[in-house]
Every structure is written in structure tokens, then in C-alpha cells.
Amino acid sequence: MESHLKGPILIIDDDIEVVEAIEDTLRFGGFEVYKTTKPLEALGLLETVKPRLVILDVRMPELDGFSLLKKIKKKQCDIKVIVITGYYSECKEEIDHFKKLGLIQAAVAKPFNFSAFETLVNEVLETEEEEGGGRSRSRLLIVDDEEGVTGVLREMFHREGFNVALAHCVPEALRKFNAFKPHLLLVDLMLIGEDGFSLIEKIRKKNEKVIIYAMTAQRDDEVISRIHEICGEGRFFKKPFDLDKIGELSREFKKEIRKQ
């Protein structure tokens, strides 16, 4: 039955042989798969298919993969993306840049082992499902568009006993908030698209009591004053972080959660 398939996944690559090989591998693995060899056609498919994951080639006619990536993220910012390319070394700087922004989850050099690639696809898609587990722990949702930041914070707060979910933009954060039901949010104020203040205001309309801390590199008094107004007195910390204080911050979080 279609409803039992994993995905859906959209493959975008101008090489039909590569597309069909990936399609065959993933369909055999139980995935719902859609494909196109035309980058511009992909934007229309995005609307109808609403994939959870896009597998995206870099070098294509009409529109290169990185330009298409930006258009995809404008339409569906919470979509997962795996980049594939036969020019990995030439594209490494751009790949690393988009990884740091959290716009892609993985990049794979062609040619690749299809069995290993299927494993990678499963790992990327299972990330959200894993974030929904562990209900006995205090639940923390971290919202920041810098993947490097969220990765470090997730690992450190997980060690402190939190069940951690991540989001990189406002629509994704709202979806995770509804599904994950966090006790506490850490929200960066500078996000791609809508900013952190917009997210905090939307969250407050859903749940006035949820604990929200803002993260910011800004030092402007007006910004700090607004944080105090919508989050509460002292509920912010400044970037760059002092990672040595994560343990202390975790204890403060848990103390606040117990008071709820």
C-alpha cells in the first residue's frame, strides 16, 4: 500500500542513468520516489509531491544545483537535502558553506555505493523520528539556521539529560513544536526568512507558559529589552557561547521546567 512507503523522496539529476539507479535502489528499500532530469520542472513537483527529502545533483543545465537549492528552500525551508556530485573537490567550499547554514544534510561524491547511499537516506529521514522519542526526559527544541551551532548544542544538552530536537527556520520550528511538544525552546533571533521574534510571538499564541530563551550576537539595548518583554527577564544568552557553562545552564533549565 502507498501509505506504508517511506518518504516521499524527489530525485533531481540530469543524468537519467543515475536517476534510475537511485530510484530502483530506494523503491526496493520501500521508499516512495519521484524523479526529474529537469531542474526547472522540480519546482513544480515540489508543490505536488511535498517530499521530505530531495536528492540533488550540482552540475545541471538550465539551473545549477546550488541555485536550485536556494529556490527549493524558499518554497519549503524544512525539507531535507542530500547533494550528489561528480565534482566534489571543486564544490567542497560551497558544500561546506551550505552545510553550516543547515541547508543540506549530507553530500556524496559520484560514483557511490548504492547500498551505502540507501543507508544514508534512512539516517537523514530517521533524524526527525528519533527526535520524537524519549518522552521521560525534559524536551528541548533548538532553533538556529547554523547547523554547526545546533549540532554542538544538541550533543552537549543531550549529555546533560535532555531530549533534543532541532529546527532551522520558522515553519520547521512550528511543525516540530506541535509534534515534539517541548518544555523549553532556545531560539536564535537571526533566522533565514522570518526572524526569531516572529517565531516566539507565534509560539506564545499557541502556549503562553512554554519557556523560551533567545540566543543572539546582538548587543543592542532595544533588542535585549524586547527579549525581556516577550521571553521573560534574563531569558537570553549571547553568542558566541561559553560551552563550559552548558552544565550550569542545563541545571537552570531543569529548575525552570520543574516549576511549570
The domains of the chain are located at 2-128, 132-259
Asked whether the bond before 182 is cis by omega within 30 degrees of 0, the reply is no
Q: What is the CATH number of domain 132-259?
A: 3.40.50.2300
Q: Running DSSP on this structure, what letter comes out for residue 8?
A: E
pLDDT over 90 percentage in the chain = 45
Q: Give the pLDDT band of residue 6 (cuts 50, 70, 90).
A: confident
Phi and psi at residue 182, to the nearest 5°: -70, 150
Q: What is the distance between the alpha carbons of residues 246 and 7, in angstroms, rounded to a whole number?
A: 36
CB 220 within 8 A of CB 198: no
Q: Which of 77, 66, 122 is nearest to 102 (CA)?
A: 77
Cβ-proximal residues to 180 (8 Å cutoff; 6+ apart), any chain: 131, 132, 139, 141, 165
Helix axes 65-75, 39-49, angle to 10 degrees: 20
Q: Give the pLDDT band of residue 127 (cuts 50, 70, 90).
A: low
pLDDT at 128: 52
Class of domain 2-128: alpha beta
Q: Give the pLDDT band of residue 55 (cuts 50, 70, 90).
A: very high
- Per CATH, 2-128 and 132-259 having the same topology is answered yes
pLDDT of residue 1 exceeding 50, the answer is no
Q: Running DSSP on this structure, what letter comes out for residue 1?
A: -
Q: Which amino acid is residue 256, in one-letter code?
A: E
